[in-house]
Chain A
């Protein structure tokens, strides 16, 4: 069975600080996808990134960066120079890489509050 753990329930940082959100996953699959989604107060889940288990390169997109370490089953997300607009709940998720399986297994989310 697949499992995603986000141990940090809530994090508060002052604006412009860097913050890292942790994600640890469990799966018996040898290939899989990892995701991060952002959920602002409006409720919509906003897709941020998808990573294939074959690709362990770290990725940077503006102020966002992701560190994928297969050896420790972690897929951490860092926001650099945080802004108030980054305040949201962030979810890490896992899915199989199989035709016909779109199911996402989500972590419990981390509520991030950026203090102005």
Chain B
């Protein structure tokens, strides 16, 4: 069974640009969560989608947004990039609903802002 797939693995952008990251969950998983990992702040929850609806949102500015498609694939968008957005962005999927199953993570997208 294929794991969580995130693309691209690495990305370099400049300040002010915008970026879209993609996440394909494990087959059958309907919940997709996004996390930002930085040396200073550690792992922080961005948001979670289930059946194309955002169910939870972390404490990030509106420049960070996401969406989920009918096949459960998810994208995350960051607009007007800032130097502080440089981070490893991790996507996690789970069955969701009342399944009480743990989340499984992808390899992440490492975003560098110049």
Contacts and interface: CB of A to CB of B under 8 A. Distances in A.
Given A45-B90, A103-B33, A108-B42, A37 B105 contact: yes
Contact of B94 (A43, A102, A108): A102
B56 to A, nearest CB: 5
Interface residues of A, number: 23
B48 A103 contact: yes
B43 A44 contact: no
Nearest to B9: A43
Which applies to chain A's interface (DSSP): helix, strand, loop or mixed?
A: loop
Interface residues of B, number: 28
Interface string B49-93: 010000110100000000000000000000000000000101010
Interface in A32-89: 33, 35, 37, 42-47, 50
Interface stretch (A12-20, A21-29, A93-101): A93-101
Nearest to A52: B100
Which applies to chain B's interface (DSSP): helix, strand, loop or mixed?
A: strand
Interface in B1-59: 31, 33, 35, 42-45, 48, 50, 55-56, 58
B43 A102 contact: no
Given A35-B102, A45-B90, A47-B104, A106 B42 contact: yes
A102 B35 CA distance: 12
Nearest to A105: B45
A115 interface: no
Interface of B: 31, 33, 35, 42-45, 48, 50, 55-56, 58, 88, 90, 92, 94, 96-98, 100, 102-108, 110
